[in-house]
Amino acid sequence: MELKKTGMAGTLESSDILVVIEPKNSEGIDILLESVVIKQFGDQIRKIISNTLRELGINQVIVRANDKGALDCVIKARVQAAVSRATGSKECFWRVVES
Amino acid sequence: MEFYHFVEQTIQLDNREERARVEHFLANHSLRLEADVDYSIAIYRQGMVVATGSLAGNVLKCIAVDPEYEGRGIAGRVVSRLVAEAYSRGLLHLFIYTKPENAGKFSQLGFYKIIEVPAGVVLMENRPDGITAYLKQLKKYKRSANMVASIVVNCNPFTKGHQYLIEKAARACELLHLFVVWEDRSVFPPEVRYQLVKDGIKHLPNVEVHKGKDYIISNVTFPTYFIKSPDEAVKTQSLLDIKIFAKFIAPALGIKRRYVGTEPDCPVTGRYNQTMKTVLPGYGIEVIELPRLSIKGVVVSASQVRKHLRQKELHLVKELVPEITYNFLRSKDADSILEKIGNEAGGGLIGAKKNRNGRHT
Amino acid sequence: MYVPGNNPGLLKDAHIYGADALMFDLEDSVSLQEKDTARFLVFNALLSIDYEGTETVVRVNSLETPYGRDDFEAIVRAKPDTIRLPKTEEAEEVKEADLLIGEIEGKAGIELGTIKLMAALESARGIVNAYDIATASPRLVALALGAEDFVADIKTSRSSEGCELLFARSQVLIAARAARLFALDTVFSDLKDQAAFAREVEYIKQLGFDGKSVLHPRQVETVHRIYTPTRTEIEQARRIITAMQEAEQKGAGVISLDQQMIDKPIVERAQRVLALAEATGMNKEDGGR
């Protein structure tokens, strides 16, 4: 999928994560992460973000995320929502998510 | 599940009662609902406001939480809602003003400190690399020269007065960095103002034209410049804007001097110039005030030009603006702008409302 | 119990409060700007959080809104037990939802008929068409009354006595019973007034409802307490079921207990009592709470 614009999803409320996804000119997934639990879970959060993006075929992207202790499935949901907003596509989204 | 006790509501700013409730709540926290606010929310608990926050373009402001409910994620909820609204409006680079004691709280909400001024105000932005990215961009234009100077202009629109100032400044230094105010709150949109200046000074080889963006006299650094309310805020904002210039922009380009035209009429600009003269020398930047061009004994100003345009006196405009501006005004591209200026004269309720944010004169 | 669909803090442990079913809401509790994000959130929560056997329901947006179709596409694939159709007014809407779910089940490789439906009646038209709606699809397992919109539709407001809802409640209940569905009552919004809430639960239990929607964990216990059968009732129900099983084994056509003939409705009521005892934790050896 191609990112057409910046997409944002999530909030700064407790147990949530705010994810902003911007298109990038070059290959690679850059993640700028802030988290209340960065010491314990920083690496895991990054992994979930990049795995979710790869599943969706996104690999030229800058991600800015501010985590307030979100569960893995919440992180995944917010990344997917931000991508769907940035690509403007809903079509086939669930099937991609499914596989 | 406290969630259910707090009800979030978008404030209809035109609804006097709703507005008053928020104003009253803010007043209890020594804040005002500022004039340029264009989106506000409130969080209610049992019919009482317990928190509020607003947007003015890409600036989050007038945020307050009842201390009794602090520490329950309410501030996060307010900021999240405002950020989501700004994004949905396509505003991605966001700023926030706050008191130094609250800076920590906002840094947890994803904001990064740009600068603090003594009056007790901190300006923050939502990207860790916001101002550094802007400076990096600027540094591409850094050249060593004997005297590097700068001048900031709005040019609404570009007049012979501007041209005269720029020519004078350019002759007196080796390299002149010219910043065009980038905010889209003047009748002439930024792209038009920028292009007219750029074309109008083509004959001056030592002038580099930049877009002012968020960090120079913008809705962010200096909102009162656009709303022209002669209040306390002008002092703080002038200081903030000038400090950003002195601490970040000037060093990035090696600027040692700033030129400014004399300002006899507008108190806000007058105050700004005054602050510049007090603050900049402390950073090793000289401030030089240049007398403005007069034609037939009258000081040339952009507001004079707009006045003639409003009264459809194009022949009088011709005397005040360079050929490049005159040609633009007669082109089809200027139609919508001229129409807007015409409407401003209409007065009455609609005119007043359209003009709520004020226009720089 | 209602769980707002866009609140991660509430999604993760909504099942620990003992509600029999969790109803994740994508409809009225989610603002228009967040319909998409809530959908992703509930979708992922259902796929990855273990709700430990608590029944899961998702209230989707109506297919007449711009969000309905996407809600179905996502939610069916996340396989909740039931999808709740809001503001149902005609049997046609249930049939449309049934077909769409079947289509998505097919595409996603889910066994046809897995996802059940619950129809919420929230308008005068919905109430009038209750029986048609109740019999519109084999997926339907329950009818529910949504009173907040209903009272607005019939131009009144809710009172503590609930006289304005009597007809609607009766109609929903009768239609559900006639179609062999569960009947679920509407929410009670004043979270502070527990006494009034308890009175309302007593009342709808007496009307015949199988249960009540709740907004807050605090309300769960009250419903359970009122719906909990007494020990005597449970004991009697067990005896009836035993008698029935014995009769079946013997191949007897008539079930009798204590020299009385037991007919079908009585067996069904006994089954319901035991199911309730199960749901409220009363069937354990120690007698539950």
Q: Is the pLDDT of residue C287 over 50?
A: no
What total number of domains does chain A contain? 1
- Chain A CB contacts of B109 under 8 Å are 12, 66
Nearest-CA distance B2 → chain C (Å)? 10
For residue A65, what is the nearest residue in chain B, using CA coordinates?
Answer: B110
Instruction: Report, as an integer, the average pLDDT of B177-198.
Output: 89
Q: Which domain holds residue B173?
A: 134-354
Give me the residue from A11, A20, A64 closest to B80, CB to CB.
A11
Alpha helices in chain B (DSSP H): 16-28, 74-88, 103-108, 130-139, 160-171, 190-200, 224-227, 232-244, 250-253, 267-279, 302-310, 314-320, 323-330, 335-345, 348-354
Q: Count of A–B CB contacts within 8 Å?
A: 39
For residue B347, pLDDT beyond 90: no
Q: Which residue in the set C8, C37, C77 is minimally distant from A15, CB to CB?
A: C8
More confident residue, C165 or B336: C165
| Residue B88 contacts C, CB cutoff 8 Å | yes
Residue that terminates a domain, selected from B105, B128, B151: B128
Residues of C in contact with B85 (CB under 8 A): 33
Lowest mean pLDDT among B259-268, B316-325, C81-90: B259-268
A64 domain-assigned: yes
Chain A positions touching C49 (Cβ under 8 A) are: 71, 73
Supply the CATH number for residue A85's domain: 3.30.230.10
Chains A and C form CB pairs within 8 A to the count of: 61
Nearest CB to C216; choose among B1, B84, B88: B1
Q: What is the pLDDT of residue C285?
A: 45
Looking at the fold, whether B257 and B138 belong to one and the same domain comes out as: yes
Averaged pLDDT in 10-residue chunks for chain A of 99 residues: 88 93 92 92 96 92 94 95 87 55
Please list every residue in chain C whose beta carbon sits closer than 8 Å to the beta carbon of residue B4. 191, 215-216
Domain membership flag for residue B328: yes
Residue B262 counted as domain residue = yes
User: A74-88, B339-353, C57-71, C93-107: lowest mean pLDDT where?
Assistant: B339-353
Do B79 and B181 have their domain in common?
no
Asked whether the beta carbons of residue C36 and residue A78 sit closer than 8 angstroms, the reply is no
The mean per-residue pLDDT over the stretch C206-233 comes to: 91
Has residue B360 been placed in a domain?
no
A2 assigned to some structural domain: no
Q: Is the dihedral of CA B209, B214, B219, B225 positive or negative?
A: negative
With beta carbons under 8 A apart, name residues in chain C contacting A84: 36, 40
Q: How do residues B195-251 score in pLDDT, each as one tens digit? A: 999 999 999 999 999 998 888 888 788 777 665 555 667 788 888 889 999 999 999
Nearest to C10 among B1, B85, B88 (CB): B1
CB contact under 8 A, B76 and A68: yes
Alpha-carbon span B327 to B191, nearest angstrom: 16
What percent of chain C lies above the pLDDT cut of 90?
67
Q: Contact A6/B87, CB-based, under 8 Å?
A: yes
Taking residues B269-277, report their average pLDDT: 88
Q: Which domains does chain C have, with CATH numbers?
A: 2-227 (3.20.20.60), 231-279 (no CATH)
pLDDT in tens, B97-151: 888 888 888 988 889 999 988 767 889 999 888 999 999 999 999 888 889 999 9
Is the Cβ pair C36, A81 closer than 8 Å?
Answer: yes
C93 Cα to chain A: minimum distance (Å): 23
Q: Which of B71, B94, B128 is the last residue of a domain?
A: B128
- Kindly state whether residues B87 and B143 are assigned to the same domain: no
- Using the Cβ of A18 and the Cβ atoms of chain B, whether some distance falls under 8 Å is answered with yes
Query: What's the structural domain count of chain B?
Result: 2
Q: Does residue A26 sit within a domain? A: yes
Is there a contact between A78 and C37 if contact means CB atoms under 8 Å apart? yes
CATH of the domain at B201: 3.40.50.620
Flag whether B315 is in a domain. Answer: yes
pLDDT-derived band at B2 (thresholds 50, 70, 90) equals very low
Mean per-residue pLDDT, B276-297: 91
Mutation test of the interface with chain B: which of A66, A67, A74, choosing the one with the most B Cβ atoms within 10 A? A66
DSSP chain C: -EEETT-HHHHTTGGGG--SEEEEESSTTS-GGGHHHHHHHHHHHHHH---TT-EEEEEPPPTTSTTHHHHHHHHHHH--SEEEETT---HHHHHHHHHHHHHHHHHHTPPTT-SEEEEEE-SHHHHHTHHHHHTS-TTEEEEEE-HHHHHHHTT----SS-GGGHHHHHHHHHHHHHTT-EEEEPP---TT-HHHHHHHHHHHHHHT-SEE--SSHHHHHHHHHHHPPPHHHHHHHHHHHHHHHHHHHHT-SSEEETTEEE-HHHHHHHHHHHHHHHHTTTTSTT---
- The minimal CB distance from C216 to the residues B4, B84, B88 is found for B4
User: What subunits touch chain B, counting only 3 or more CB pairs under 8 A?
Assistant: A, C
Any domain includes A74: yes
Most confident range, picked from B204-208, B340-344, C10-14? B204-208
Q: What is the pTM of this model?
A: 0.78
Q: Report the pLDDT averaged over residues C168-193.
A: 94
List, as ranges, residues 10-49 from A with C-beta within 8 Å of C.
10, 13-16
Picking from B81, B96, B128, the residue at the C-terminal end of a domain is B128
